[in-house]
């Protein structure tokens, strides 16, 4: 079986290494920090131990999986790899440098992939001699558990490279969706209003964190409310993705980050990992109770849901991804209770258009512009499915 290279032994790199090794590949994981390599080794071992304890893997399978992963701080070990996935810091210059060094080492047929959440894949290929071999292969955290992988061809990517990468990742048991090389691809773009509109509703004093979370969880059926989810992801990570998406969309007000979350980041109130975020997780702290008012809950749900559906419709309208891939991405990548476009059909396209127009009339902000495709579908009486 082919050898897979992983650059960056952090949360994502070690998770992807485990996925590839579980599929039978030999894996070489490289990081320039030996401490990161040691941490990744321990992390993979404890993840395998958990699988063994739960009876999902035998001891000997865990042992052989682990022995297929080699740790190194020398990129030269990538020489024999057929695919190298980069999962280093989210900075385009760092990734460009890394890919350029990689290209000098690997075979001409080696596929190079980036696990970036939001940066331009085309920009990463700009300094390569063979940019046609580079593409985005975006896993979700934790990679061994999350089934979705977004594959993003750059402007320069060869169709054959795309097909080969897709085959490899599908062979690892993952569900692949295709996205155009645009900021946030599918999931990290379509999910922005889940956080952004919730923050806006809070900032306007319409409801508190606990009430918004209650409405989105208990009334709309999301696994976690927006604030508990931001605290879980980490406000530092979540804020930074919003900021990158906002900047890369030329400061479109739809994606504008919020001061409320920025101040939490400033104060290092990152969420669960620092025991303070939107909520207080310190010992003895009491969780606030939501105001379980159904009318208020409906107002919150209809506003956030309309914004989510509007964003999903825009992604479809602007051909960033197909209808099926958008719905698949949101249900499998972030566990949404339904695909947003299927949900739009159930609610009624005209209801979504009405809600968006009402918000636009109220605020006179471009943030609330309705996707032209929704308006056209309403006129023509069409649905997504
Ligand atoms: N964490 C997530 O939820 C998540 C999800 C999907 C995608 N991503 C993306 O995956 C990538 C990695 O994220 P992460 O959370 O694993 O980061 P991380 O900070 O946990 O790990 C990054 C690792 O890369 C190493 N590194 C940095 N520069 C390097 C270089 N030049 N050569 C070798 N090693 C280098 C660091 O030492 C570190 O161990 C980022 O692009 C991120 O946007 C993250």
Q: pLDDT value at position 118?
A: 83
Question: Is the pLDDT at 25 greater than 90, yes or no?
Answer: yes
Indicate the DSSP class of residue 141.
S
If you measure from the C-alpha of residue 115 to the centroid of ligand 1, how many angstroms do you get, rounded to a whole number?
9
List the Cα angle 83/85/87 in 5-degree steps.
170
For residue range 265-316, list pLDDT tens digits in order.
999 999 999 999 999 999 999 999 999 999 999 999 999 999 999 999 999 9
Q: Is the CB of 66 under 6 A from ligand 1?
A: no
Question: Is the pLDDT at 200 greater than 90, yes or no?
Answer: yes
Question: Is the pLDDT at 219 greater than 90, yes or no?
Answer: yes
> What does the alpha-carbon distance between residue 90 and residue 123 come to, in Å, rounded to a whole number?
13
| Arithmetic mean of pLDDT over the chain | 97
Q: How confident is the model at residue 264 (pLDDT cuts 50, 70, 90)?
A: very high
Q: pLDDT value at position 105?
A: 97
Q: Is the CB of 45 under 6 A from ligand 1?
A: no
What's the rounded mean pLDDT across residues 49-53? 96
For residue range 115-172, list pLDDT tens digits in order.
998 899 999 999 999 999 999 999 998 999 999 999 999 999 999 999 999 999 999 9
Ligand 1 site-directed mutation target among 31, 89, 230, most atoms within 8 Å of CB: 89
For residue range 54-105, list pLDDT tens digits in order.
999 999 999 999 999 999 999 999 999 999 999 999 899 999 999 999 999 9
- Give the position, in ligand 1's atom list, of the atom nearest the Cα of 14: 16
- Domain segments of the chain: what residues? 3-178, 186-385
Taking each helix axis as running N to C, give the angle between helix 235-248 and helix 259-266, from 0 to 180 degrees, rounded to the nearest 10.
130
**CB contact at 8 A, 118 and 184:** yes
Nearest to 227 by CA among 209, 211, 203: 209
If you measure from the C-alpha of residue 146 to the centroid of ligand 1, how many angstroms do you get, rounded to a whole number?
17
Q: Give the CATH fold of the 186-385 domain.
A: 1.10.1040
Q: What percent of the chain has pLDDT over 70?
A: 100
β-pair type (111-114, 134-139): parallel
Which DSSP string do the residues of 279-332 spell out, in sequence order?
SB-STT--PPPP---HHHHHHHHHHHHHHHHHHHHHHHHTTSS-HHHHHHHHHH
Q: Give the CATH fold of the 3-178 domain.
A: Rossmann fold (3.40.50)
Total Cβ atoms within 10 A of residue 91: 11
Sheet with strand 111-114: strands edge to edge: 69-72, 26-30, 3-7, 81-86, 111-114, 134-139, 148-153, 175-178
Q: What percent of the chain has pLDDT over 90?
A: 98
- Give the position, in ligand 1's atom list, of the atom nearest the Cα of 86: 11
Question: Is the pLDDT at 180 greater than 90, yes or no?
Answer: yes
Residue with tokens 């968006």: 356
Judge if pTM exceeds 0.85.
Answer: yes
Question: Is the pLDDT at 1 greater than 90, yes or no?
Answer: no
Question: Is the pLDDT at 317 greater than 90, yes or no?
Answer: yes
What's the rounded mean pLDDT across residues 329-348? 96
Taking each helix axis as running N to C, give the angle between helix 294-317 and helix 323-333, from 0 to 180 degrees, rounded to the nearest 10.
130
Ligand 1 site-directed mutation target among 16, 19, 40, 88, most atoms within 8 Å of CB: 88
> What does the alpha-carbon distance between residue 263 and residue 361 come to, in Å, rounded to a whole number?
30
């Amino acid at each position: 079986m082919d050898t897979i290279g992983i650059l960056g032994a952090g949360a994502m790199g070690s998770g992807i290494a485990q996925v590839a090794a579980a599929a039978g590949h030999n894996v070489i994981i490289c990081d320039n920090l030996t401490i990161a390599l040691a941490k990744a080794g321990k992390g993979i071992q404890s993840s395998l131990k958990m699988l063994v304890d739960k009876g999902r893997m035998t001891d000997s399978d865990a042992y052989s999986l682990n022995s297929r992963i080699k740790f190194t701080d020398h990129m030269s070990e990538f020489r024999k790899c057929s695919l190298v996935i980069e999962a280093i810091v989210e900075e385009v210059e760092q990734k460009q440098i890394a890919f350029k060094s990689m290209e000098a080492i690997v075979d001409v047929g080696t596929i190079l992939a980036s696990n970036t959440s939001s940066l331009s894949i085309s920009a990463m290929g700009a300094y390569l001699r063979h940019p046609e071999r580079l593409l985005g292969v975006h896993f979700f955290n934790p990679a061994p558990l999350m089934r979705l992988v977004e594959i993003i061809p750059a402007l320069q990517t060869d169709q054959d490279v795309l097909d080969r990468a897709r085959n490899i990742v599908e062979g690892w048991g993952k569900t692949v969706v295709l996205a155009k090389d645009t900021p946030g691809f599918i999931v990290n773009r379509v999910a922005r209003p889940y956080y952004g509109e919730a923050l806006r509703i809070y900032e306007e004093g319409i409801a508190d964190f606990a009430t918004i979370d209650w409405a989105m969880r208990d009334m709309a059926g999301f696994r976690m409310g927006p604030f508990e989810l931001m605290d879980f992801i980490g406000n530092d990570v979540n804020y930074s993705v919003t900021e990158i998406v906002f900047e890369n969309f030329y400061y479109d007000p739809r994606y504008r980050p919020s001061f409320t979350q920025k101040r939490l980041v400033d104060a290092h109130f990152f969420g669960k990992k620092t025991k303070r975020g939107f909520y207080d997780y310190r010992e003895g702290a009491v969780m606030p109770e939501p105001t379980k008012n159904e009318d208020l809950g409906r107002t919150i749900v209809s506003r956030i849901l309309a914004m989510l559906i509007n964003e999903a419709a825009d992604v479809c309208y602007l051909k960033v991804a197909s209808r099926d891939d958008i719905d698949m991405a949101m249900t499998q990548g972030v566990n949404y209770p339904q695909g947003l476009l299927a949900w739009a059909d159930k609610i009624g396209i005209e209801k979504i258009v009405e809600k968006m127009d009402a918000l636009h009339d109220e605020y006179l902000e471009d943030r609330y512009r309705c996707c032209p495709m929704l308006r056209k579908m309403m006129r023509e009486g069409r649905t997504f499915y």
